[in-house]
Amino acid sequence: MNKAQLVEAIADKLGGRQQAADAVDAVLDAIVRATVGGDRVSVTGFGSFEKVDRPARYARNPQTGERVRVKKTSVPRFRAGQGFKDLVSGTKKLPKGGEVSVKKAPKGSLTGGASATVKKAAAKKAAPAKKAAAAAKTTVAKKTTAKKVTATAKKTVAKTAVAKKAAPAAKKATVKKAAATAKKTTATAKKTAPAAKKATAATKAPAKKTATRKATAKKTTARKTK
């Protein structure tokens, strides 16, 4: 049975062929849109339509036997319900007249239609809250960073001030040490000066005595020769 035959089969029940075609188009469009969006369309007793993701894999070309890489893709899947399976297998018999009875779906079993609308509405409501939470986190992070930067700047300023205060003290200490060293050097020089004078005088005295002795010896020699 194709789509045209399906329309003809339900035309009498819907009051005309156009109404039946519109109904079939509307049902198929709703199923396709919900499945593409990732929702699972489930009709109790008939089956469910869902989107299945297939990861990338390697396959064999049946004609050449060559190994081919197949990209990641998504495919639709239909799973027949238990009532549909029972009718096809013959466990249950089709009624001779009227429509095949389909049990009402329990609450929460339909993921398409109204439930999908509710989910989308909830997602839309949650989106502003998520954005606000993200903005709040960003603001807190910025404030924390600003506080850290301010604290670092304060520490740097404090270290600079301490260094500036310590510089004059270091200069004073250096001047004091230089002055003390100069005083020590002067005192040492003063102490060593008398000793140097004595040593000089001591060296000069023997020289004078030696000169006197030589002069006396010369005079004595001159007298003897006369």
Give me the CATH number covering residue 110.
4.10.520.10
Asked, for residue 87, whether it belongs to a domain, the answer is yes
| Cβ neighbour number for residue 34 with a 10 Å cutoff | 21
pTM score, whole prediction: 0.43
**In degrees rounded to 5, what are phi and psi of residue 39?**
-85, 150
Number of structural domains found in the chain = 1
Asked, for residue 39, whether it belongs to a domain, the answer is yes
For the record, the structure tokens of 171 come out as: 């200069």
Asked, for residue 109, whether it belongs to a domain, the answer is yes
The H-assigned helical ranges of the chain are: 3-14, 17-36, 82-89, 114-225
Per-residue pLDDT for the chain (226 aa), expressed as one digit of tens each?
Answer: 999 999 999 999 999 999 999 999 999 999 999 999 999 999 999 999 999 999 999 999 999 999 999 999 999 999 999 999 999 999 988 887 667 665 554 454 444 444 444 445 445 545 555 565 566 566 555 666 666 756 666 676 566 665 566 556 656 666 577 667 767 766 666 676 666 666 556 555 555 566 667 677 676 666 666 5
| Cβ neighbour number for residue 102 with a 10 Å cutoff | 13
Its domain, for residue 54, covers 3-122
Per-residue CA distances from 63 to 56, 60, 66, 67, 148 (Å)? 21, 9, 8, 11, 68
Per-residue CA distances from 45 to 12, 86, 102 (Å)? 24, 9, 6
Beta-carbon contacts of 73 under 8 Å, excluding residues fewer than 6 positions away, are 53, 54
